[in-house]
């Protein structure tokens, strides 16, 4: 994979960045990525990103956890090792279900939470021991960076970004 040029436009205010993203998108330029020190409300909509489907995944993972919990409590406490607890034997899952509610709840939450984290890491390609791809350390402190690919329009993009309130504009080679 060869290298290509990108423009890094730095901003020091989230509202200025949001307006700049809207201006750049209105001029029909593609924004590769925006690096921020904190989440900026409305940035995903301004960039035209598709809504996330993590809520659907979380629901499916929760249903999986619920199913595992019901199967597990039925198998362990009713089928495999039924017990006479407190002199009141009850050998049906439905009669014992109130005692299983904490287990069912915890496994539902456990599956949803852990599988959502794994899904997030897989979708964002963040793997253990992977080197960070942050182009400038200032984006973890107080600056916002908009990265735009250059396609023989460097002067036009630089002029547009200067009008949007960028505090610094750099053209760099991206490898």
**Could you say which DSSP state residue 86 is in?**
T
- Among 146, 154, 162, residue whose Cα is nearest residue 5: 154
CA distance 86 to 96: 13
Give the pLDDT of residue 1. 47
List, for residues 104-150, the tens digit of each pLDDT value. 999 999 999 999 999 988 988 888 888 878 888 898 899 999 999 99
Domains and CATH numbers, the chain: 4-50+135-174 (3.30.70.260), 54-123 (no CATH)
Q: Which of 48, 53, 39, 31 is nearest to 148 (CA)?
A: 31
162: CB partners within 8 A, 6+ apart: 169
Express each pLDDT in 75-97 by its tens digit. Answer: 998 888 887 777 666 778 888 88
**Is the entire prediction scored with pTM above 0.75?**
no
């Amino acid at each position: 994979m060869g290298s290509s040029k990108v423009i890094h436009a730095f901003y020091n205010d989230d509202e200025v960045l949001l307006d700049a993203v809207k201006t750049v998108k209105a001029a029909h330029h593609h924004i590769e990525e925006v690096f921020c020190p904190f989440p900026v409300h409305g940035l995903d909509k301004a960039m035209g990103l598709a809504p996330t489907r993590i809520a659907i995944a979380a629901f499916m993972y929760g249903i999986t956890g619920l199913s595992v919990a019901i199967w597990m409590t039925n198998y362990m406490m009713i089928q495999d090792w039924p017990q006479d607890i407190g002199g009141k034997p009850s050998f049906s899952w439905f009669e014992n279900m109130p005692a299983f509610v904490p287990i069912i709840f915890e496994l539902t939450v456990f599956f949803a939470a852990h599988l959502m984290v794994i899904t997030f890491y897989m979708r964002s390609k963040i793997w253990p021991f992977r080197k960070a791809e942050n182009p400038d350390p200032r984006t973890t402190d107080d600056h916002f960076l908009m990265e735009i690919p250059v396609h023989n329009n460097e002067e036009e993009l630089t002029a547009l970004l200067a009008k949007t309130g960028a505090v610094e504009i750099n053209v760099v080679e991206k490898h």
